[in-house]
Structure 1
Amino acid sequence: MNAHRKTNPTQSHESFKSRFRQWITSEHVSISILAFVIGVLAGTAAFALKRMVAFVSHTLTHYIHPGEFNVLFLILPLAGILLTGIYTRYILKRDIEHGVDKMLKAISERHYNLPGSTVFSPLIASTLTLGFGGSAGSEGPIAYAGAAIGSNVARLCRMSPHHTMILLGCGAAAGIAGIFKAPVGGAMFALEVLALDFTTASVLAVMVAVIAAGLTTFALTGYTIDLAFPSMATFEPHLLLSVVILGILCGVYSIWYTYAADKLERLFGKIKNPWIKNIVSGGILSVLVFVFPALYGEGYSMMGEVLAGNYSGLTDYGPFAHCGKEMLPVLLLGIVAVKSFAATASNSGGGVAGDFAPTLMAGCMLGLMYALGAQYWLGIDLETGNLAYYGMAGAMAGIIQAPIMAIFIVLEMSGGYTLLLPISVVATISFLTVKACNRLSIYDSRRHRKEREEGQPQAKHD
């Protein structure tokens, strides 16, 4: 007769608890759980920032009408820069310009503990800058806020410096994923821009964070994409030459954009009085927005209209309201020529905003200019919407020098996955054009300039 050993329920329960404790405290699982929490928080913050900027912008532009000179364009952007300067100097008492640059510096110096106030301060400051018409983006501030979320969650959980660095990167990537609803683009931001050292655990954590952030924002916004492209045309192989030419144009333009931004930032750097700097930068921004109203704000609504084939918004609110359609390429040339100045005046003279959205806007206008110029002046019929769309990825790839991120951000925010091939061609050629000329990205250019300035004796000021 076989004797059967009876299992003690208490021992079985303790064994299960022990195995579960080992599983939950393993590196991959614990980091992934925290990454999920960070992703949800960053996605919620991205949604909140979108809504705050939209509310302020809609409220202030309610009395701006098409077909007339709008003096408010001379007032609002300047007021936004001044208010942001007041907030950062007298309330926050800390400089939070160029959040991505600050993250890159923190990672390089292994300073992973970001202040708790950084969770919300970039959101408030960028709402003032962008809501009042700043011609830049919200991705820099939300990436900085997301990094602060990751850093503070890690500090609360008493994580090691290495794990804190991973969670900081998770938060920054989640911020990008949330603001663009682009999980893969957010992950590529961590890889190409932040250049984090990835292990299996960190890759898994970043993917969990960006998926959680993207889905959170997607759900909170009603499961809609941000940049609809209803007139999307199928890519035809015989148009490949026009796509290659656009890639080269985007690369050349990227060199100009970074050069112009560097020159204007140097000018702002020479102005030591913060009030004067705010007035100068706000004044430049206001004049440019008054002449080219399409530069007002982040530009996503304008890009949406262009992709839909509606170009009236480019002319209706400014001095070019009565120009003929044959002059549209000239107007677009003016917009792309000064877009770098407008973006730099928005985020380097007291405002708080990002660098990604301006590159998307500039690329969209460049692609449209190329297509309309070929159509009106050379009689060559090109798909205007498609080329404007490709240009978005081309300019971002060349200026930020992150081609894979650029490709997926543009695809994910619009759902245009069938155009992966031409977008990849434009982004790659633009990137290689810039690299062939040995030019730095906008972040590297800024970092090198600041390193040179900090290496010189600093003048004393009251």
Structure 2
Amino acid sequence: MKKGESHATTARSSGARTGGQRATLRSITTILGPREEHWEYLILAAAVVGLASGASAVALRSAVHHVFTLLSGLDPLWIFLMPAVGAFLGVMLVRDVFREDAGHGVPDVIRAVGLRGGRMPLRSVFSRWLGSLANVGAGGSAGLEGPIVHSAGALGSAIGRWMRLDDRRRSILVGCGVAGGISAIFDAPMTGLIFAMEVILAEWATLSVVPLIISAVVATELSRGLLGHEHSFLHAPFEMQLPDLAACIVLGLLAGVVSLSLSKGIGKAHALARRIPGSSLAPFLFGLLVGAIGIWLPLAIGEGYEGVQDLLVPGEAMGLGLLAAILVAKIIATSLTLGSGAPGGVFAPCLVAGAFLGAGFQEGLRALLPHWETIAPSGSYAVVGMSGLVAGVMHAPLTGIFLVMEVTDGYDVILPLMIVSVLSLLVARRFERYSMYTEELAESGELARPGTDRRIASTLTAQDALELDVV
């Protein structure tokens, strides 16, 4: 065979293999949906976003815990100053270094999905990530879900832009980043999936669900491979009987009231911070107050998961007075931290406040009904209270239910979780139409959910508006 013929045969063989691979990929994606949905690109992109968001979440979680552990061993004077310094640095990083508005950042992600076709600036990958490392690591009463939602969402946006996807698919990749970040940071893939769909995308379309699942799974497996797989809280078996279910109706109503207190507290603190001259003075002053609370009640600052763990494992009871004091202190510390504009999330404060509410409620029942010998342990009520606060503050009952089930393995109390979450949401919605994530957007007219006139108008092009079939 001649040399030219050999090259031609090799080229045809290589082309046949490549064509066969493409045909196989097309046949797989055809099963999933129409050709125009470009499933092959979304599946590949979702996996990449899952890896990136999972790595970002693992790094943030590990870094914050190491910093907090290191600083917790310092002199009490430094413990008093830590939250002030951390809040000051966090706000300075976000505002002055990265030139972004202060706060937890979740409204920015919702705005990007609703009005900007999933476009987020590349600097958003780093702004809240570094800001929350300073703020939460130094003892600020906040969690990590807000910063990781912002950072991972920006990662999804950047990858979508690099792959030259359209607005619809780029927005889905923002949701994939959110799902991956939440899944990895809590080791809770269902929570990541549901939070992204319930809060960020606000839709349950097949085109969205499949990529989000892939990102959540990839990010969770990465997290488990690097940090190990275990539930966030160790606990005794959860159990609740029919009388406890009746008591949970009252607990659900109380959870709604406490949720409103936390949301209103953050709003009042934010309004006060705006009146204080100097962009970083309010975070420092509010941080000093948080530090003072930490000297008095250390369980009320930082993420606060140590206190929740104490409630879930049978041991010496804290007493109703101490439980109530920590609950109030946590609400105040969280309101000061997040209201100052310091970067951080509300998941952790909700879990902690809800746990102390539930445990305190059980202690109150025991004091009022001393002959009720079959009452469920305080740990069971603590778990149910956690779900109620998440649902009430974020107006996201499914997120609250699945988050608590996944971080505690609390599937045995699914019915109480549902009762408390729904009642808490109803009470919160009765007095506040929007959650702390969407209130700012609603006030500025930037809340564009799927199916609304604002969202439809934002997606119209000039060609869509033209009448092309005029005779």
Cα distance in 2 for residues equivalent to 1:120 and 1:425 = 39
**Cα distance change on mapping 1:18 and 1:292 into 2, 3 Å:** closer
Cα distance in 2 for residues equivalent to 1:10 and 1:352 = 53
Please name the residue that 1:419 is paired with: 413
Deviations 1:130-174 (A, max 9, x none): 111011100000111110110011111111111111101111121
Cα distance in 2 for residues equivalent to 1:117 and 1:396 = 29
* Corresponding position: 1:334 with 2:325: yes
| 2:151 maps to amino acid | A
**Cα distance change on mapping 1:311 and 1:157 into 2, 3 Å:** farther
* Corresponding position: 1:29 with 2:40: yes
Please name the residue that 2:188 is paired with: 182
Please name the residue that 2:245 is paired with: 240
Decide whether the 8 Å contact of 1:407 with 1:423 is kept in 2. Answer: yes
Q: Aligned pair count?
A: 425
Extract unaligned runs of 5+ from structure 1: 1-7, 65-69, 313-324, 453-462
Which sits farther off after the overlay, 334-343 or 166-175? 334-343
| 1:354 maps to amino acid | G
Q: 1:266 aligns with which of 262, 271, 295?
A: 271
Decide whether the 8 Å contact of 1:192 with 1:405 is kept in 2. Answer: yes
The alpha-carbon deviation at position 198 of structure 1 amounts to: 4.1
Please name the residue that 1:455 is paired with: none
Please name the residue that 1:460 is paired with: none
**Cα distance change on mapping 1:13 and 1:278 into 2, 3 Å:** closer
Please name the residue that 1:135 is paired with: 141
Please name the residue that 2:103 is paired with: 97
Please name the residue that 2:394 is paired with: 400
In angstroms, what is the RMSD of aligned CA positions?
2.4
Decide whether the 8 Å contact of 1:264 with 1:341 is kept in 2. Answer: no
* Corresponding position: 1:52 with 2:70: no
The alpha-carbon deviation at position 254 of structure 1 amounts to: 1.4
Please name the residue that 2:340 is paired with: 349
Please name the residue that 1:193 is paired with: 199
Deviations 1:231-251 (A, max 9, x none): 123222232112222111111
Deviations 1:239-280 (A, max 9, x none): 211222211111121122222222111111222411322222
Please name the residue that 2:299 is paired with: 294
The alpha-carbon deviation at position 408 of structure 1 amounts to: 0.3
Deviations 1:185-233 (A, max 9, x none): 111112221144443221111111112112221221112222222x123
| 2:411 maps to amino acid | Y
Decide whether the 8 Å contact of 2:113 with 2:119 is kept in 1. Answer: no
* Corresponding position: 1:363 with 2:363: no
| 2:325 maps to amino acid | G
Q: 1:213 aligns with which of 201, 219, 228?
A: 219
2:438 is paired with a residue whose SS is helix
| 1:420 maps to amino acid | I
1:133 is paired with a residue whose SS is coil
- Relative to the length of structure 1, the TM-score reads 0.85
Which sits farther off after the overlay, 220-229 or 30-39? 220-229
**Cα distance change on mapping 1:286 and 1:90 into 2, 3 Å:** same
The alpha-carbon deviation at position 52 of structure 1 amounts to: 0.3
**Cα distance change on mapping 1:308 and 1:155 into 2, 3 Å:** same
Stretches (4+) displaced over 4 A: 8-12, 23-26, 448-452
Decide whether the 8 Å contact of 2:104 with 2:146 is kept in 1. Answer: yes
Cα distance in 2 for residues equivalent to 1:14 and 1:63 = 62
Cα distance in 2 for residues equivalent to 1:344 and 1:175 = 24
| 2:272 maps to amino acid | L
* Corresponding position: 1:431 with 2:425: yes
Decide whether the 8 Å contact of 2:252 with 2:424 is kept in 1. Answer: yes
